[in-house]
Structure 1
Amino acid sequence: MTYLISVNRFKKRLENNQNNTVIVDVRFQLNDPDAGRKAYLDNHIPGAVYMDLNKDLSGPPGKHGGNHPLPDMKMFTAKMGKIGIDHDTTVVIYDQANDMFSARLWWLLDSLGHEKVYVLDGGYNRWVEEGNKATDEIPELEAKEFRAEFHEDNIVDIEELKEKLGEEQALLIDSRAKERYFGKTEPLYGKSGHIPGAKNFFWKDVLTSDGNWKKKEELEENFSSLPKDKEIIVSCGSGVSACPNILALKSLGYSNVKLYPGSFSDWISYEDNKVETKEE
């Protein structure tokens, strides 16, 4: 997949001293927000800088807008510049394994029009498993000017979502686990179920049983029920685990794919909005 980079290819890139590469560590745990930063300070891929889901890749949560609203884009682009990213920079992002947080940063940079962005397939775990070094040394970074314009047409808000679903202009998919989709369990929010009309495509289904990204043929089978000529809106709980599905769909040539950033946490913040628990 064009948005992934293997450990071997990444290692060769570093060994060949290809300049202007920024490595970003985005390890995170939703149930322990400090765990990712602590893991980074303990050991990380040499040269990597840490970006935090809550502090860097999201804005502050409010009553409406979901639990992980998008960051202020001016502040976000300024942060990208401070860690050494400009128009010509190749960015390699890694998580603990093939987790959702690397895809979130990939999506943010992709939505800013940055083309050279890759997710390290297998993440930190595979880097270490293949015998590569880790360090606790914090890199010195050279700030650059990152000029980018956010593509607003990559997202939909709740009003646009309702309009497009009501007029059957788009398909909505829910990236959460089936148990949460059906409302059988809900560990994070006060209501359970899903947005009426949403079809379930669990984000981990883009991965094999051993956690590897699926090959193109397997991904095509996973999304075979989704037409490529229809607008697809991707949601989850708060706009994070939707991103692996977006990455997979775009890699397959689905061009009209949008994120509903607020997702289920935004939807249920409006008392009048109904939730569904049956298969759509």
Structure 2
Amino acid sequence: MQDPSIISPQWLVNHLNDENLVIIDCRFRLATPQWGYQQYLISHIPGAFYLDLDRDLSSPIGKHGGRHPLPNPETLAPKLESLGITWGKTFVVAYDDFRFAFASRLWWLLRYFGHFQVALLDGGWNGWTKEGYPVTDQLITPKPGQFMPQLQSDWIVDINTVKEKKDLPSVTLIDSRAGERYRGEYEPTDPVAGHIPGAVNAFWERVSDEQGYFRPLEEQKPLWSPYQDSSELILYCGSGVTACVNLLSLEMLGYKNTKLYPGGWSDWCSYVVDNS
């Protein structure tokens, strides 16, 4: 196997029948939330189950907390069990068709829950089908697993912590959204345009190529070298989803000082709207 956080389509096709493997389809579109599950029902990798960003990998939206609050462990854990995932044992492979945007959320969540046996499929769904590997519309019944989360609670920060730390010289706050959203030139989703004061910009799509393959780590090192002397890197995006792609890159490069602000810009600007 390659790096444990990224596996190739060739590896997966050779391990489809492994008893200790669970595959999760995470395809999703923010503008059409039902699209991913509809695509899954039409065709998916044999043996794969589906987890939905809105329904499974997030909590219901509140006044604050952002557009995709982290899921309640007591809600998600039984769902993971029902898919045959046993904490600390089952090897999970997640995929999407959007340059890791949604599969990385599951990758990060499982690790946040203390389950480190998880990887992403390099090239995702598009790479899999391009290689001509098998697909199916058949649904299977999983064997029940046992999942008892052990939260890595120091991996996340809330808005108050961001306010306290964002201007410290030893801390770097990283906005993972596209440059035009960071600069406030374009905002398709949230009610306010711009970024958190003091944040730098590192667009999440830079860690993959246009075909959805993870760029070689040597190519990714320069993306983060400006911040290598920071004591802490706090990452955010619109709602704590695509920032996980950047967290994946940093993890694979050996950074251990990273935190996620799950609420992201959508949480931050919900207070701006309140105060306007």
Fold equivalence (TM over 0.5): yes
In structure 2, the residue matched to 1:71 is 71
In structure 1, the residue matched to 2:115 is 114
Shift of 1:222: 1.4
2-structure distance, mates of 1:88, 1:180:
40
In structure 2, the residue matched to 1:129 is 130
- Could you give the per-residue CA deviations for residues 207-230 of structure 1, whole angstroms, max 9, x where no partner exists? 124432110100101111111552
Instruction: Count the aligned residue pairs.
Output: 272
SS of the residue aligned with 1:224?
Answer: helix
1-structure distance, mates of 2:65, 2:170:
23
In structure 1, the residue matched to 2:174 is 173
In structure 2, the residue matched to 1:239 is 240
Question: 1:222 is aligned with what amino acid?
Answer: L
**Contact 1:2–1:251 under 8 Å retained in 2:** no
2-structure distance, mates of 1:202, 1:182:
12
Paired-residue identity, %: 46
In structure 1, the residue matched to 2:160 is 159
Alignment CA distance shift 1:273-1:220 (3 Å): farther
Gaps of 5+ in 2: none
SS of the residue aligned with 1:63?
Answer: coil
1-structure distance, mates of 2:251, 2:131:
29
User: Where does 1:2-41 land on structure 2 (aligned, <5 Å)?
Assistant: 2-14=4-16, 17-41=17-41
- Could you give the per-residue CA deviations for residues 133-165 of structure 1, whole angstroms, max 9, x where no partner exists? 111111111111112211110100001111112
Alignment CA distance shift 1:209-1:271 (3 Å): closer
SS of the residue aligned with 1:222?
Answer: helix
SS of the residue aligned with 2:94?
Answer: strand
User: Where does 1:259-278 land on structure 2 (aligned, <5 Å)?
Assistant: 259-271=260-272
SS of the residue aligned with 2:62?
Answer: coil
Gaps of 5+ in 1: 275-280
TM-score (normalizing by structure 2): 0.95
Alignment CA distance shift 1:182-1:97 (3 Å): closer
SS of the residue aligned with 1:179?
Answer: helix
